[in-house]
């Protein structure tokens, strides 16, 4: 593993030397080099060629210094030689003609894939309060299962109201005036966040493996996207720690007036099961950057990486009580956080239904501040002049990434009439190439749904699509055998009033709708209670800007999808949430603005 000289994010080992990967941990002027992990020695798949999930997701540029032509529409694949050694290649069938020509002229190395830890010991299963591990006060535990095998991974201490009270007390004490945390220089907070990012880099193989078995994600996805995403979020907030400044204000009269940006206080944070480690970083990074303390509850389905982070938080030097981790269920631990009278702010990512309950609880308790990132039914609009190769591939990734379990999934795919039939044909062809299987095996690009509840819900919605008259092009059923796997599914001839076009499916189900005019598609795209994201594919920039202005969504992507970075704010319109996460806007959610006015004898300009 090497570092880009211009930034502290992860880049990729290159060439055959990359088979022995190196990780550099930087602390001040010292750099320690640690030999890490070997790449896969042999494939656990009998095919000659298997796809790797470094599929060209729109933000692939985040994971390395790829040439520009590789940042648009390329799909990496892995082939194996006679000794079953991996040989990264480019799949030219996923490229436009211009990209193929550029790739031939500018050959580039592919990323190496390390082997996951198949027999990983689960070291941390307890509640983390005051930098110490605790059993639950009730003595209860809850099971955590691998959705790929339906087998028990371990049991976790189950936090409920009493444990939340204990954690909030620790967080409040850590936030008291004169405490080590409140007295710490802002620049030092930044150093600690960077140290935490360093520790994640050191333990990236452990955390990637935990995330894969816990959340049902292909290992390549957790290693190349989720963990680097968490690291980048921490480093971005670290850079802001001593730059969150107030202003001096030229107030009328003989006064000197300035503003202070002060931390809100104790923050309750509730994160979802679809991106556990990424959401953990998204939540704690801005909160700690601004000087707050935290009580965070991971989803009961996926608590393993969050609990592991407790050990790294202590090792990084974050004072006791600043971050407290309480695993548990929503109706108990989550409700206790939402109603707690000594929590100053709640940040929640999850369903719109639960978001409403949290906002109601905040109003009925101490009117705590609330940030909500909720559901979506995002339109992805493909105009006839779009590059069809790119549009098909990116629309595919924008829906099927993480088995469709993304709040931003482009789940209402509007395609202009002249290219509709061809787009459907290519989309079906692409969906049939997806490889389902063991999430720790190379070549797998689709894992299971998170649990039986989601699995059953998705299958029921697929059946509703069939009954309501949508044309099933492929998939439409579960995979035989263990695990909550659903075959990649594509529907055409979908109408706006069908359930699959209205409800958030959160599964590998692509719905393709037809449109004729710009005005028509704007009206139809906005005809939803959600407003999280939208995509537009066109070569006409006037049309693109018209769409960007007209679409009611917190994020609009033009000729890309899911291109996200810590620098850019993220959040929804309408019932997709309140407030913003990431970017400078995300920091505002974790500060109170205080105006200080001082009477002076005489003011001069």
User: What positions carry a catalytic annotation?
Assistant: 373
Partners of 591 in beta bridges: 263
What is the helix (H) or strand (E) element at residue 545, kind and residue range? helix 541-550
Could you say which DSSP state residue 350 is in? S
Question: Using CA atoms, how far apart are residues 569 and 552, in angstroms rounded to an integer?
Answer: 16
Helix 204-215 to helix 276-289 angle (10° resolution) is: 120
Question: Using CA atoms, how far apart are residues 241 and 262, in angstroms rounded to an integer?
Answer: 12
| b/e burial code for range 279-291 (CB count within 10 A of at least 16 → b) | bbbbbbbbbbbbb
Query: Residue 601 CB: number of other CB atoms within 10 A?
Result: 5
Question: Using CA atoms, how far apart are residues 117 and 210, in angstroms rounded to an integer?
Answer: 9
| b/e burial code for range 419-451 (CB count within 10 A of at least 16 → b) | bbeebbebbbebbeebbbbbbbbbbbbbbbbbb
Please provide the DSSP assignment of 139-198 as one string.
Answer: --EEEEEETTTTEEEEEEE-B-HHHHHHHHHHHHHHTSTTSHHHHS-HHHHHHHHHHHHH
Cα distances from 497 to residues 469, 470, 471, in angstroms, run 11, 11, 15
Is-contact 552 531, C-beta < 8 A? yes
Please provide the DSSP assignment of 415-472 as one string.
Answer: EEGGGHHHHHHHHHHHHTT--BS-TTSTT--B---SSHHHHHHHHHHHHHHHHTT-EE
Question: Using CA atoms, how far apart are residues 526 and 546, in angstroms rounded to an integer?
Answer: 14
């Amino acid at each position: 593993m090497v570092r880009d000289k211009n930034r502290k994010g992860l880049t990729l080992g290159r060439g055959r030397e990359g088979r022995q990967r190196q990780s550099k941990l930087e602390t001040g002027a010292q750099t320690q080099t640690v030999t890490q992990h070997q790449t896969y020695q042999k494939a656990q798949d009998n095919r000659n060629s298997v796809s790797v999930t470094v599929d060209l997701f729109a933000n692939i540029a985040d994971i390395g210094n790829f040439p520009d032509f590789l940042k648009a529409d390329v799909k990496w694949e892995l082939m194996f030689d006679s000794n079953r050694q991996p040989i990264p290649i480019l799949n030219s069938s996923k490229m436009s003609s211009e990209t193929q020509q550029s790739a031939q002229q500018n050959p580039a190395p592919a990323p190496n894939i390390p082997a996951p830890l198949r027999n990983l010991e689960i070291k941390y299963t307890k509640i983390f309060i005051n930098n110490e591990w605790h059993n639950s006060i009730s003595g209860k535990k809850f099971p955590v299962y691998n959705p790929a095998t339906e087998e028990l991974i371990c049991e976790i201490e189950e936090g409920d109201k009493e444990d939340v009270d204990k954690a909030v007390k620790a967080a409040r004490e850590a936030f008291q005036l004169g405490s080590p945390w409140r007295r710490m220089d802002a620049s030092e907070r930044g150093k600690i966040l960077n140290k935490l990012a360093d520790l994640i880099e050191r333990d990236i193989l452990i955390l990637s493996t935990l995330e894969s078995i816990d959340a049902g994600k292909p290992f390549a996805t957790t290693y190349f996207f989720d963990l680097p995403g968490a690291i980048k979020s921490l480093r971005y907030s670290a850079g802001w720690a001593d730059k969150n400044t107030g202003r001096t204000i030229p107030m009328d009269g003989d006064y000197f007036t300035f503003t202070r940006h002060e931390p809100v206080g104790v923050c309750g944070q509730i994160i979802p099961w679809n991106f556990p480690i990424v959401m953990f970083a998204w939540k704690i990074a801005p909160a700690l950057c601004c000087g707050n303390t935290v009580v965070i509850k991971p989803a009961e389905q996926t608590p393993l990486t969050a609990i592991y982070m407790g050990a790294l938080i202590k090792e990084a030097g974050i004072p006791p009580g600043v971050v407290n981790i309480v695993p548990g269920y929503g109706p108990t631990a989550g409700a206790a956080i939402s109603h707690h009278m000594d929590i100053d702010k709640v940040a929640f990512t999850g369903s719109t239904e639960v978001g409403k309950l949290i906002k109601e609880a905040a109003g009925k308790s101490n009117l705590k501040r609330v940030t909500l990132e909720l559901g979506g039914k995002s339109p992805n609009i493909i105009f006839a002049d779009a590059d069809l190769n790119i549009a098909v591939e990116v629309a595919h990734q924008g829906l099927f990434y993480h088995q469709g379990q993304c709040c931003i999934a482009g789940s209402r795919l509007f395609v202009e009439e002249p290219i509709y039939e061809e787009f459907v044909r290519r989309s079906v062809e692409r969906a049939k190439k997806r490889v389902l299987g063991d999430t720790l095996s190379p070549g797998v690009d689709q894992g299971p749904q998170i649990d039986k509840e989601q699995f059953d819900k998705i299958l029921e919605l697929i059946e509703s699509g069939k009954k309501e008259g949508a044309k099933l092009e492929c998939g439409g059923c579960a995979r035989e055998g263990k695990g909550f796997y659903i075959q990649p599914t594509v529907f055409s001839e979908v109408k706006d009033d069908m359930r699959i076009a209205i409800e958030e499916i959160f599964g590998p189900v692509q719905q393709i709708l037809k449109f004729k005019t710009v005005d028509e598609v704007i009206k139809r795209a906005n005809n939803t209670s959600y407003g999280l994201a939208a995509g537009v594919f066109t070569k006409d920039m006037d049309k693109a800007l018209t769409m960007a202005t007209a679409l009611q969504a917190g994020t609009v992507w033009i000729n890309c999808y899911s291109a996200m970075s810590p620098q850019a704010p993220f959040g929804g319109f309408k019932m997709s949430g309140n407030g913003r996460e990431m970017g400078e806007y995300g920091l505002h959610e974790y500060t109170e603005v205080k105006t200080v006015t001082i009477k002076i004898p005489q003011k001069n300009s």
